[in-house]
């Protein structure tokens, strides 16, 4: 049975989560890299996570340094096959069922791995705060560039791509540290946060701003806040329920509820 691996305290907390979801009219999901570790994609801040191996390349460094751009593309093409073969985990499936049941109008995610969409959440209900890693674009003229073309050239020349149209810098369509946030996604995330009675954050260390601001927006607007994450987060003290346990085991019982 799902969740049988959980200790007594966590089982009680999971039952409380099931109760809160049952009581709520509108649940908004908010996810971070931790929901995708079960799918084989490493997160940043778990022990041994990507953070301990490679510090992220800030946006201004990407812009100013050709070697930083080469390193960013090297890392991207190293990680892409891992993401390409990843399948949604139990956390993604639980959220997808909440969406299908009409209980969850949208999932706000910091992830760029497309797994919410793959789990069956309609694309228009996934709000990607940090963009999408499946294509690239020119930072100057905005024209779209396909990763397959970039990869062929990168592997033969070792050089980061520049835009053939305008000579601008080409970057994957994800948001780096220090880069402006996508306005429409921010607006949609704000609207969702303001209009729910339960805000469910799953697998985020809640330290990356401004994304980590949305649980506070929801809480201030009167929603209950639940945090499911293996490690403590800076927002635990304002949450109504904190569950420090494995996401898949905690979330899978949400399904039979529907």
| Chain positions contacting Zn ion, by CB under 5 A | 138, 140-141, 163, 165-166, 168
Structural contact between residues 84 and 76, judged by C-beta atoms closer than 8 angstroms: no
224 lies in the binding site for ligand NAD (CB under 6 A): no
Provide, rounded to whole angstroms, the least separation between the CB of residue 201 and ligand NAD.
Answer: 9
β strands within 16-169, DSSP E: 27-31, 107-109, 126-128, 131-138, 144-145
Provide, rounded to whole angstroms, the least separation between the CB of residue 50 and ligand NAD.
Answer: 6
- Cβ-in-10-Å burial (0-12, 13-18, 19+) of 170 comes to buried
Considering only residues 143-202, where is the footprint of ligand NAD by CB under 6 A?
none
Question: Whole-angstrom Cα distance, residue 242 to residue 253?
Answer: 17
Going by the DSSP 8-state scheme, the letter that residue 225 receives in this structure is E
27 binds, among Zn ion, ligand NAD, none (CB under 5 to 8 A by kind): none
- The vertex-88 CA angle with 44 and 13, nearest 5°, equals 75
Question: Whole-angstrom Cα distance, residue 219 to residue 126?
Answer: 21
Structural contact between residues 168 and 141, judged by C-beta atoms closer than 8 angstroms: yes
Which of the stretches 19-27, 34-42, 59-67, 93-101 binds ligand NAD when contact is defined by CB under 6 A?
34-42
Residue of the chain from 96, 110, 132, 252 that contacts ligand NAD (CB under 6 A): 110
**92 carries an active-site annotation:** no
112 binds, among ligand NAD, Zn ion, none (CB under 5 to 8 A by kind): ligand NAD
Question: Whole-angstrom Cα distance, residue 177 to residue 191?
Answer: 24
User: Would you say 43 or 218 has its CB closer to ligand NAD?
Assistant: 43
226 binds, among Zn ion, ligand NAD, none (CB under 5 to 8 A by kind): none
Size of the site for ligand NAD (CB under 6 A): 27
Q: Catalytic site residues?
A: 130
Positions that interact with ligand NAD (CB under 6 A): 32-34, 36-38, 41, 43-46, 49-50, 110-113, 130, 203-205, 208, 229-231, 246-247
């Amino acid at each position: 049975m799902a969740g049988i691996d959980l200790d007594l305290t966590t089982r009680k907390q999971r039952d409380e989560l099931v109760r809160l979801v049952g009581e709520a009219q509108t649940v908004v999901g908010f996810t971070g890299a931790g929901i995708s570790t079960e799918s084989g994609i490493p997160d940043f801040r778990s022990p041994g996570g990507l953070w301990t191996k490679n510090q992220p390349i800030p946006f201004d460094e990407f812009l100013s340094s050709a070697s930083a751009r080469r390193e960013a593309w090297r890392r991207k093409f190293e990680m892409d096959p891992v993401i390409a073969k990843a399948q949604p985990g139990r956390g993604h499936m639980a959220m997808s069922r909440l969406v299908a049941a009409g209980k969850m109008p949208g999932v706000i995610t910091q992830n760029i791995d497309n797994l919410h969409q793959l789990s069956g959440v309609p694309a228009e209900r996934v709000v990607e705060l940090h963009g999408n890693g499946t294509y690239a674009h020119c930072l100057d003229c905005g024209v779209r560039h396909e990763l397959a073309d970039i990869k062929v050239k990168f592997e033969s020349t070792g050089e980061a791509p520049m835009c053939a149209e305008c000579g601008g810098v080409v970057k994957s369509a994800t948001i780096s540290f220090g880069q402006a946030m996508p306005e429409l996604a921010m607006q949609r995330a704000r609207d969702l946060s303001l209009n729910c009675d339960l805000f469910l954050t799953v697998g985020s260390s809640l330290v990356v701003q401004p994304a980590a601001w949305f649980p506070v927006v929801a809480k201030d607007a009167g929603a209950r806040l639940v945090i499911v994450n293996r490690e403590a987060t800076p927002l635990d003290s304002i949450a109504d329920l904190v569950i420090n346990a494995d996401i898949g085991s905690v979330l899978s019982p949400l399904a039979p509820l529907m």
